[in-house]
Amino acid sequence: MGDSSGRLDELMGVSYELRRIAGQMRKAVLRFRIGGAWREQGGTWARNYPDYESYLAHQRTKLDAMRASSLQSHDARFFHALRVRLSLLPFSLRGRSVLCLAARQGSEVRAFIDAGAFAIGIDLNPGRENRYVVTGDFHALQFATGSVEIVYTNSLDHSFDFDRSVGEVLRVLSDDGYFIVEAGRGVEAGDEPGFYESFGWASPDVLLDAIAERGFILENRSGLDVPWRGVQFVLRKATPIPDDNGVKRLGARVPSAAQ
Ligand SMILES: C[S@@+](CC[C@H](N)C(=O)[O-])C[C@H]1O[C@@H](n2cnc3c(N)ncnc32)[C@H](O)[C@@H]1O
């Protein structure tokens, strides 16, 4: 019995390693296929993909190319750090509905559940038998309009079309819903986009303006160090208010506290 389970562990280890090596080979082919060209617009950068299929194929490879040990250590560090950050939010998460975008193995989903929320994640590649994350694309969410109270993401740098990504968040959020964004410090601070990133920003302020102008009001801003150095923005969906002429305008942005 001991011998056969040891052999099984060995075979599973070999099959995992083969999958990882295949993932690395796909990465090399993709590197050639997608090239390294970016286009800039107003302090943000988007990777030039030949087409949407190439973007999807590129983004799906990351999980398969990562080592189990680095996934596990990232999961533990991120889960614990986010749990602390969520406990400092200016509102309670107990009983709130939360959607986590690009949640991979679900560390952030478990952190929200730990804080008392009803949470689920979506990812292009949630891996196998994931209890916390289902397959989905944040450019075309499978959820109903106005159906969720909080959307969380730390992966806006994986957008193909930033406008569509933020537009989908706006659509699925209920009135006065919150959008919690965690993001790196940007190019000006030396955080250049890596191989898997498809979108970048000059600084957190540039990113904040790009989100806010699409219909959000900043409520809270703080710094973070884990899993990388960056910022957390807590934004509220701006409810359009009709003026005397019946024209709907969005509320003004609340001035941000210095980070
Ligand atoms: C840097 S990982 C972050 C994973 C997770 N949020 C975490 O911090 O552990 C980026 C993730 O974004 C996912 N992703 C990229 N583009 C996506 C899209 N359009 N829709 C959903 N997930 C996407 C990738 O599959 C990958 O799991």
Q: Where in the chain are the domains?
A: 67-249
Count CB atoms within 10 A of the CB of residue 37: 8
Q: Is residue 226 within 6 Å of ligand 1 at its C-beta?
A: no
Q: Which residues of 215-252 are buried (b: 16+ CB within 10 A; e: fewer)?
A: bbbbbbbeebeebeebbbbbbbbbeeeeeeeeeeebee
Q: How far is the CA of 196 from the centre of ligand 1 (A)?
A: 10
Q: How far apart are CA 216 and CA 221, in angstroms?
A: 13
Q: What per-residue confidence (pLDDT) applies to 252?
A: 44
Cα 192 to ligand 1 centroid, rounded to whole Å: 18
More confident residue, 241 or 167: 167
Lowest mean pLDDT segment, chosen from 12-21, 112-121, 188-197: 12-21
* pLDDT (average), residues 108-124: 98
- Tell me if the bond preceding 255 is cis, omega within 30° of 0: no
Is it the case that residue 56 has pLDDT exceeding 50?
Answer: yes
Architecture of domain 67-249: 3-Layer(aba) Sandwich (3.40)
Res. 2: pLDDT tops 60: no
Q: Is 123 in the pocket of ligand 1 (CB under 6 A)?
A: yes
Check pocket membership of 168 for ligand 1, CB cut-off 6 A: no
Q: What is the mean pLDDT of the chain?
A: 89
pLDDT reading at 192 higher than 80:
yes
Average pLDDT over residues 218-247: 89
Ligand 1 atom 18: residue of nearest CA: 137
Work out the pLDDT band at 35, boundaries 50, 70, 90. confident
Ligand 1 near 130 CB (within 6 A) = no
What is the percentage of the chain residues whose pLDDT exceeds 70? 88
Q: State the residue for tokens 């189990």.
A: 68
- Determine the distance separating the centroid of ligand 1 and the alpha carbon of 22, expressed in angstroms: 20
Which residues are within 8 A (CB) of 54 and not within 5 positions of it... i.e. 6 or more apart? 30, 33, 34
**Could you give the CA distance from residue 227 to residue 177 in angstroms, rounded to a whole number?**
25
